[in-house]
Structure 1
């Protein structure tokens, strides 16, 4: 929706920032690492919750911070559920294998492991959104688990039959479905990404990266980042906010090359500073333009405490962003 002359005067100011510091984040990361090591990994869910509370707590919009209230206990319970799920799948596989049903056993194993992915995405978004608030208003995710599983396998089959080409459409379909079901109070999120556009963008990036002996890769990162940001928007009735990226190829070059040297020359200890540089870069380059009045947003979302998907997403190294 284009803003008319009548409602242009209602445009709001929005400023995203990441206020974290490398030294603060490093102290959290090193303590988390030591406690996880001492407890033989049992502390990991608490470490993850502490890390997320710091990251979310240092994201600021108009000088007011976000808040993540997830706990290590919730994530630990989610981790136990994930392990039980894996045990059932592996148990079924070995049972069928011992019954000389190798083909069926392999099918059960692959379908079970692949099936965890949409369940993880659905569960993680429901959990993390419900545990994230801004100005006391909770985020939420209204996607349907069964529908997402059905879509996921449909798109996966198309990807296999097209020898991987459909993966670009699959990724954009997932983005549209997931982000289209995110809510912040009575604000609805929307995503306009398209598979063909994303395919062309990556084809161009791949070819130019080869032709420039890798130099164009930073501009390729820029194009992907810009596309993801520019296709996002939010609406509340007739009010709307559009996202706009200001990232540049030079900016990505400085960020990624700088982070590489920080990590290498500190033997990995500087990763906390590299991560903070990344978070600052992302938020500094996302601009919000529109006329949604943040003071009028109403609470509509419920709390959801099952962290099963959160741990599964972490296992598959799938980034919610």
Structure 2
């Protein structure tokens, strides 16, 4: 893939991204959302989430045009109810097993919990990608996810098995396999995404990052995070009519240090009220330091067939903290 990309790179025109949100604007959205979520005992959360996503998408610009999120609180609420029921059922059965089983058999409750979550995660990843891409657009063209749930389960179960057998050493290859499956099935009109990172490279980043983080008493952590970000972004390819384009992240360890330390101070000293500002700072740093070395014909994109999937697995992934897009 690398050779194909290099062969088609002569006509590349770098296109930059820009995030134009403001902390005060997001705070104005988030504050009433927080209040309504608390007052309604969490019921308003899907509407709050939809409003936040719409704002963040609307403030993200590429090649002079803004992205849009078309999801609604109503459809997210239906998904939220299903997600809460599913996770609640798993937790309820686990508690029942712990209460009813003899002391020496209570490992069955733990086993049930881990197996259930393990079976739900691939479904949650798949559902989140289907829903989030179908509700995302740029210049009126919608994204689409064409992955297969059976394939996701095959990759996930194989990865879990090999990670256990190798005592965790296979985990970077597992993460890359999932990333390749996800990115390889994203479509934007007649543009196909792919991911050409390798597990060995990710293993090296983790090994070096963790060793140096320990040796420097945590100082290298920020450079470690910047290398991880570059790995996941710089290995994304876009193909249109045989021509390839590549994303590139220009983040640095020093930049991550200023960003993360600043965000922690903002959140701590405002007792959490500064979270919207921290979100804006993070979005600006990541997006404004991204560009696409572009061979794409952005004026001749073809609309993908709309996807009508619901938001149930979007909210399961949210509950399990699976942030993919």
1:199 match: 203
Counterpart of 2:173 in 1: which secondary structure?
Answer: helix
Which of 243, 261, 264 in structure 2 is aligned with 1:260?
Answer: 264
1:82 aligns with 2:86: no
Aligned pair in 2 of structure 1 residues 254, 105: CA closer, same or farther (>3 Å)?
closer
The yes-or-no answer on 1:310 pairing with 2:314 is yes
Q: Distance in 2 between matches of 1:96 and 1:223?
A: 43
Pair 1:146–1:2, CA change in 2 (3 A): closer
More displaced 10-residue stretch of structure 1: 57-66 or 239-248: 239-248
Q: Which position in structure 1 is the counterpart of 2:149?
A: 145
Quote the offset at 1:182 in angstroms.
0.7
2:216 to 205, 212, 231: 212
TM-score, normalization: structure 1? 0.92
CA distance in 1, matches of 2:57, 2:239: 22
Q: Deviations over 1:109-161 (max 9, x none)?
A: 43222211111000010001000010010001111112111221111111112
Which residues in structure 2 correspond to 1:17-36 (within 5 Å)? 17-36=18-37
Match in the other structure for 2:277: 273
1:234 corresponds to: 238
Aligned to 1:159: 163
Deviation, 1:303, is 2.1
Matches within 5 A, 1:104-183: 106-183=110-187
Alignment check: 8 A CA contact 1:12 1:293 kept: no
Q: Which runs of 5+ in 1 are unaligned?
A: none
- Alpha-carbon shift at residue 92 of structure 1 (Å): 5.6
Q: Deviations over 1:141-193 (max 9, x none)?
A: 11111211122111111111222222211111111111111111110001012
2:46 is the alignment partner of 1:42: no
Q: How many residues align?
A: 319
Q: 1:206-262 deviations in whole A, cap 9, x for unaligned? A: 111122221111111111111111111100122221111211111111111222222
Where in structure 2 are there 5+ consecutive unaligned residues?
none
Contact 1:17–1:284 (8 Å) recurs in 2: yes
- 1:106: how far off? 4.9
CA 1:238 to 1:315, structure 2 compared with 1: closer, same or farther past 3 Å? same
Tell me if structure 2 keeps the 8 A contact 1:45–1:75. Answer: yes
What's the Cα RMSD here? 2.2
1:85 offset after TM fit, Å?
A: 2.5
Please state whether the residue corresponding to 1:234 is helix, strand or coil. strand
Distance 1:289 1:18 in 2: 18
User: Structure 1 residues 64, 72: CA separation in 2 closer, same or farther (over 3 Å shift)?
Assistant: same
Look up the SS of the partner of 2:299 in the other structure. Answer: helix
1:2 and 1:112 mapped to 2: Cα distance?
A: 41
Whether the 8 Å CA contact 1:20–1:58 is kept in 2: the answer is: yes
Residue range with higher mean Cα deviation, 296-305 or 103-112: 103-112
CA distance in structure 1 between the aligned counterparts of 2:7 and 2:198, rounded to whole angstroms:
27
Name the CA shift for 1:166/1:29 in 2 (closer, same or farther; >3 Å). Answer: same
Check the 8 A contact 2:124/2:313 in 1, yes or no: yes
